[in-house]
Amino acid sequence: MTKLSVNINKIATLRNARGGNIPNVKTAAINCELFGADGITVHPRPDERHIRYRDVLEIRPVIKTEFNIEGYPSDKFIELVLSVKPDQVTLVPDAHDAITSNAGWNVPRFRLFLADVVSVFRKEGIRTSIFVDTDPVNIETAAMTGADRVELYTEPYAAGFDKDAPSAIAPFINAAKIARDSGLGLNAGHDLNLDNLRYLHQNIPWIDEVSIGHALISDALYLGLENTIQMYRRQLAG
């Protein structure tokens, strides 16, 4: 079954808007797991506008399922990852001022850089995933870096889903097959929600993991966190 990793960045955003420690990010991570999440994702950025580096250090000891850290592999980020040794690190080509992730890696251009970073994490037993779009060249080249998985950037799928779902999913099915044929595990994330997640999973049932934050936390404001996590899990059950 495809795992659901809950990205808790937005909980930290809410906390930071007021200061203090409400809502408590550590407690949120614990509760997400208790409510059925298969993992916790965080994406610390250099300005720490949501998840702070200190949060990552505090959260790590309480994670019982799987811990995934996303981010651009700067020296500071690499140092953080090596200090906490998450189960997975996802390499994302974010500019320092990006509001959210908005593109995958140009893997051929950065292949040697990514290979070096992947090598550092592999030596520590940390699974590595590279954030990519559906271009076959990027996926095939990602396999050359030594990465364990790729994560498909699904915003284009989400944007086209309501207009023409079969056309929107087609390049992702092709990309997923290329990843599988290249010996790569497969993750997916960005703008996935209760409307489009089931269709994605039905067409690409071998996805190892989806990482969902913004939509899930937003839904939880209306539906409750426990109920929302269970609703998302049901989208991955059939």
Active site residue 190: yes
Element at 229 (helix H, strand E)? helix 225-235
For residue 150, the SS3 value is strand
Catalytic hit among 33, 66, 70, 155: 70
Tell me the one-letter amino acid at 69. I
Residue pair 227/36 in contact (Cβ under 8 Å)? The answer is no
Residue pair 51/15 in contact (Cβ under 8 Å)? The answer is no
Active site residue 70: yes
Tell me the one-letter amino acid at 232. Y
Active site residue 214: no
Give the integer Cα–Cα distance in Å for 153 and 78.
22
- In degrees and rounded to multiples of 5, residue 153 shows phi and psi of -80, 105
Catalytic hit among 50, 190, 201, 209: 190
Catalytic hit among 43, 151, 201, 209: 43
Active site residues: 43, 70, 190
